Structure 1
Amino acid sequence: MKTISTICAAALLIAGYAFAEKNSPRPNLLLIVTDDESWFEHDIYGHSNLKTPHFNRLAEEGVLFTRGYVSAPSCGPSRAAILTGRNSWELEQGACMLSYFPKKFTSVMEILENNGYQSAFTGKPWGPGICPLEGQTGMAGKGFYDLKIRDYEKRDYLNCFDVPANFAAFLAERDTGKPFIFWAGIHEPHAVWPDQQEAEKLLKEEFNVDAGRINQDPGNNPYLQPFGFYYELLNADRQVGQMLASLEQQDLLENTLVLYIGDNGSDSDPGGLLEDVARRNGTDMDPRRMKGKNTAYDAGCHVPMALMWKGTVPPGRVIDDFIKSIDIAPTFLQAAGVQVPPFMTGKSFLELVLSSQSGRIDPERDFVMTGSEWHTHPRTTRTIRDGRYEYIVKYPNADRPERIVELYDLQNDMWEYKNLIDNPEYAPVRERLKAMMAEAGRRTGDPRTTGNLEILEETLRVQDELWPHWGAEIRKRAAGKPYSGLKEYLGGD
């Protein structure tokens, strides 16, 4: 008897090939992944006056996702989840930043490369992490890093690699007989940022933006960032425009599916300094600080997301369904007419973007679950979010002996200031979301639900020992050698 998963995989394969046949040649795929920005930083979402015209163009000439989420609020696990179509907690050591990406998990870029696509990348790939014998050594395809930004020696607040120029170099030398998948990993707006005075000057000179007016209008988000963050956000947006221009110059835009997503939420506490101080003092962070990157809150995993596929995807639409980054890989595969492997947990949203509908479309996309394990110290959390409420579990770890549970009504408290977990009026909501988290955890094999924590706990122990040594030396020592050797070097058993 055929299993349900086999039947579903066959159906997706048939649908994918039928779509590819109808819309031949197969589309090129450009995946733009930025570093550290929450959804509300873009004016098109209605909570900022900082205009990002090139992201807006993707949304206006394609589809804007209002509920785009990544699997984890930390870049390494988030990027691994995007590549594999699996939740971060399904990736063993890949669930922890600075750990490794096990070879057993195949990336969408590798699958497409094995099915006739040319695969390439530039900028920030998967990571940061180490590459021991058991881990993947890098991204599938050829990396393009020859071209650097102007005056990079004097602009250490920007990454030195010129992402748009390297993408253009790829287009110039690509195999025109093959479609391509290209990963464009824009480093910005990740800290380090230019200082306030320099950023204010750059904002005015390069973007004609008055720094003092950013997000001062009523209704904008209350989390004021350093000016340098806003400069780098606009710099990232400019890079998107340059890549779109390269596609247009090569007459490729009509048959290129362009998808933009942030890898995790905005960081208003670079390096976790404020959180470290609060933890040492035994207090919570000031609730006025952004609950973004590396946190369990909505701003940590709710990211900007837009898709444009000119001539194929009906433009000017807004989709309110919950879309998760693990859905990107199966969507790309289906668009390319390649079978979606059964190990991918994500679900293709190709039918949604090909429709002419807006708003809520698929009734099954009514919630999202995210989680975190370790960033620069334990981040053991799970979060489940439906159309109105958010339920958070913070698990005990070396820094926190107790289990903490929180509940927020995002319809009336979108910035999550008021924890309702002990309010008896919300007990039914709490129990409903608690049950949903348990069911989703069982279905996806979440170790925090199943109790199969051996791999995770061992990885967390190694990560705590690794962090004080982090740098080029530890990456060099780990490269191509057994992971057990790294544990011995760090003083483990």
Structure 2
Amino acid sequence: MSLVVLSGLICNAQEHRKSQRPNILFAISDDQSFAHTSFVGCQFVNTPVFDKVAREGVYFANCIAGSPGCAPSRSSIITGRYPWQNEQSGQHASAWLKKYVPFIDVLERAGYSIGRTGKGVDPFQYARNGKDSLWRETNAAGILHSDFEYDKDSLSKMGGYASGIKTTDYFGNFKYFVENEKGDKPFFFWFGAREPHRPYEKDSYKKVGKDLKDVRVPGFLPDNDVVKGDLLDYVVEVEWFDRQLGYMLEYLEEIGELENTIVIVTSDNGKPFPSVKANAYEYGIHVPMAIRYPRNFSGGRVIKDPVSFVDIAPTILDIAGASPKGMMMPITGKSFLNILKSKKDGYVNKENAYVFSGRERHSSSRYKNWGYPQRALRSRDYLFIWNMKPDRWPAGAPQEFNPNDITSEILNDGSYLYGRAYTDIDGSPTKDYLLKHADEEEIKQFLLMAVGKRPEFELFDINKDPYCLNNLADSPEYAEEKEKLKAELIKELNKTKDPRIVGPDKEIFDSYKRYSHIRKFPEPGHLDIELNSER
């Protein structure tokens, strides 16, 4: 073969690979705040795989989730719409309607092979039979082509395993998909880890050699060994997610597909601790996100522009050259492919001034299964929160309903009644500690921040106060900023036709059926407890 012919073949091969549509590996952890990667300097967690993606790719320093809860947040990712735009398909543990077509369907019609492992767009109720004719049949994140699990012997040989971690063999399922389902098509694969969602194995951090002295406790939690240990058990599971992603990237490199794969790594909402998950505070809605694709996206960049989960769907469709018209409902978000393709870092797009988030119902935590509606605006410097029902308990009612029609106190002779109060906060050693020591003045302040009733509006300078401890909403010095951000938030809610603003039924979110466990709580007004937030 002549050198000319050989050279031509090489050039043709290179051009072919350049014209190939990229694979997309979307990795999402379950309940991880932005602060807990070693890339950003957290000293008590080690996330080398995330760090690699961020270092060789683009790290988004201000990625804001669609909601501080998993189901509505995942809904915003997959539809490119805010949770309040998706009816019950944006609400925790409700039904997924067919009309909310996920972007993966568009990718599939455009020639992508679709796969998934682990947690998808959940918890939602999908069609159970023909009677559920308006509901989607399959998970909005894609189909499980296999469901391999590790056996006990395998897990015993794997470092970093703790009993709270699921036995799902995420990598095994990914490899099966690539070898048996992908074919000759590009792929989109959803890796939905169930970690670091609770419960955790208590003191699992000791098995991996972590030390309490390395932990930096955020200012909204007491700085003691109980909380530190709980945080270390949490990051044990963060590291498990990171390790599973590493297996996938190593495999892609082995088969020559890594450089043709866009890797997107993020989380759905903040960590499962008081004042975080199910709260629109900074640690509840600010999540890690990094995207790696060295072939087209210059790496080593940190983007400070605020970006929203609603922007992910249009960006992925833009990357794939697929039209969003097939999604039936219009996308709200805007593609940030221009940022990925630029060589700039820091603040890149002046138009990215504000992003938005919100919540309604999380767990079953109040009378008649009511939620705690919040809408939030995050700018480059401030977080503005509208607590739309400030008369309700933000973390859930402090008392359960007794079958004998008597309210039962959260504390009974000094013993905390587990799982019966403030149930929008996941059960944990940290929550238990706050409740059991609520009579201590210092600890009571942390409890009040987590469960006490809040003012209608809250404003925080997130550069100076990332823990959201100092509410500036009533400060004359910040009055102008507050009114500006409030106006921008209301403008966006009107634009996106939030039922809480435009009606006609402003209470419709509380009417959507919940398909998970429902607790009973006494009617508001029967409670003698009076707690107000110290923020």
The TM-score range, normalised by the shorter chain, is 0.7 to 0.9
Q: Quick one: which of 263, 267, 279 aligns to 2:268?
A: 263
SS in 1 for 2:373: strand
Distance 1:183 1:459 in 2: 28
The amino acid across from 2:33 in the alignment is S
Identity of aligned residues (%): 32
- CA displacement at 1:215 relative to structure 2: 2.5
* Cα pair 1:195 1:227 within 8 Å, conserved: no
Distance in 2 between residues matched to 1:465 and 1:159, nearest whole Å: 23
SS at match of 2:324: coil
The one-letter amino acid of 1:136's match is R
Matched, 1:200 2:206: yes
What pairs up with 1:399-418 in 2 under 5 angstroms? 399-400=392-393, 404-418=456-470
| Compared CA separation, residues 22 and 443, structure 1 to 2 (3 A) | farther
Q: Which shifted more, 223-232 or 306-315?
A: 223-232
Rounded to whole Å, the distance in 2 between the matches of 1:402 and 1:356 is: 43
Please point out which of 22, 25, 30 is paired with 2:20.
Answer: 25
Q: Deviations over 1:85-110 (max 9, x none)?
A: 11111100122101112111111111
* Offset of residue 411 of structure 1: 2.0
Conserved 8 A contact 1:122-1:167: yes
Please, which of 56, 59, 66 is the counterpart of residue 64 of structure 1?
Answer: 59
Residue 189 of structure 1 corresponds to: 196
Q: Which has the higher contact order (CA 8 A, sep 6+)?
A: 1
Equivalent of residue 387 in structure 2, options 384, 394, 412 = 394
Paired residues of 1:74 and 1:375 also in contact (CA < 8 A): yes
Aligned length: 421
SS of structure 1 residue aligned to 2:116: strand
Q: Note the 1:229-244 alignment, pairs <5 A.
A: 229-244=234-249
Deviations 1:225-254 (A, max 9, x none): 433211101111111111111111221001
Determine which of 111, 115, 124 is the counterpart of 2:119: 124
2:343: which partner in 1?
Answer: 356
**2:39: which partner in 1?**
44
**Contact (CA 8 Å) 2:162, 2:200: kept in 1 or not?**
no
Kept after mapping to 2: 8 A contact 1:395/1:402 = no
Structure 1 residues 130 and 142: alpha-carbon distance in aligned structure 2, compared to 1, 3 A threshold? closer
Task: Name the aligned partner's letter for residue 211 of structure 2.
Answer: A
Amino acid at match of 1:461: S
Please name the residue that 2:254 is paired with: 249
What amino acid sits opposite 1:147 in the alignment? F
* Separation (CA, whole Å) in 1 of partners of 2:248 and 2:101: 27
Deviating more after overlay: 109-118 vs 141-150: 141-150
Give, in angstroms, the shift of residue 183 of structure 1. Answer: 0.5
1:320-469 → structure 2 map (5 Å cutoff): 320-341=304-325, 343-376=330-363, 377=365, 378-396=371-389, 399-400=392-393, 404-453=456-505, 457-463=507-513, 467-468=517-518
Match of 2:403 in 1: none
Equivalent pair of 2:390/2:456 in contact (CA under 8 Å)? no
Residue segments in structure 2 that go unaligned for 5+ positions in a row: 1-14, 366-370, 394-452, 521-535
- Is the CA contact 1:396–1:403 (under 8 Å) kept in the aligned structure 2? no
CA contact (8 A) 1:395 1:403 kept: no
Q: Which residue of 1 aligns with 2:291?
A: 307
Say which is worse superposed, 445-454 or 79-88, in terms of deviation: 445-454
**Secondary structure at 2:35 match in 1:** helix
Deviation at 1:23, TM superposition (A): 4.1
Task: Decide whether aligned partners of structure 1 residues 462 and 104 sit closer, same or farther in structure 2, where only a CA change above 3 A counts.
Answer: closer
Is the deviation greater in 163-172 or in 429-438?
A: 163-172
Structure 1 residues 193, 218: CA separation in 2 closer, same or farther (over 3 Å shift)? closer
- Counterpart amino acid of residue 179 in structure 2: A
Cα RMSD, aligned residues only: 2.7
Pair 1:135–1:155, CA change in 2 (3 A): farther
Q: TM-score, normalised by structure 2?
A: 0.74
Residues 168, 451 of structure 1: CA spacing in aligned structure 2 closer, same or farther, 3 A cutoff? same
Distance 1:218 1:324, change over 3 A: closer
> Structure 2: how far apart are the matches of 1:175 and 1:162?
18
The 1:169/1:436 distance shift into structure 2, 3 A limit, reads same
**CA gap 1:464/1:175 in 2 versus in 1, 3 angstroms:** closer
Aligned equivalents of 2:94, 2:217: Cα separation in 1 = 42
- CA 1:419/1:48 → structure 2, altered by over 3 Å: closer, same or farther? farther
Give the partner amino acid of 1:232: E
Which residue of 2 is the match for residue 159 of structure 1? 166
The answer to whether the 8 A contact 2:317-2:324 is kept is yes
Aligned equivalents of 2:146, 2:164: Cα separation in 1: 18
Q: Is the 8 A contact 1:188 1:233 kept in 2?
A: yes
Quote how far apart the aligned CAs of 1:354 are.
1.1
Q: Deviations over 1:175-229 (max 9, x none)?
A: 4321111111011111111111x3311x22xxxxx2324334999x978443321
In the alignment, the residues of structure 1 paired with residue 487 and residue 305 of structure 2 have an alpha-carbon distance, to the nearest angstrom, of 21
Task: Supply the AA of the counterpart residue of 1:253.
Answer: L
What is the Cα deviation at residue 453 of structure 1?
3.2
Paired with 2:42 and 2:257, the residues of 1 have a C-alpha distance of 33
Q: CA deviation at 1:465?
A: 9.1
Choose between structure 1 and 2: higher helix proportion. Answer: 1
1:35 to 30, 33, 37: 30
**Kept after mapping to 1: 8 A contact 2:305/2:380:** no
Structure-1-length-normalised TM-score: 0.80
Alignment of 1:75-154 (within 5 A): 75-132=70-127, 133=132, 134-139=134-139, 141-151=142-152
Change in Cα spacing, 1:411 to 1:127, as seen in structure 2 (3 Å) is same
Residue 318 of structure 2 contacts residue 337 of structure 2 at CA under 8 Å; is this kept in 1?
yes
Residue in 2 aligned with 1:215? 215
Aligned counterparts of 1:465 and 1:112: Cα–Cα separation in 2: 29
Give 1:226's match in structure 2, choosing from 226, 231, 235: 231
The CA distance in 2 between the partners of 1:256 and 1:465, in whole Å, is 37
User: Which is further off, 156-165 or 108-117?
Assistant: 156-165
Residue of structure 1 in register with 2:179 after alignment: 172
Q: Which runs of 5+ in 1 are unaligned?
A: 1-19, 205-209, 270-290, 471-493
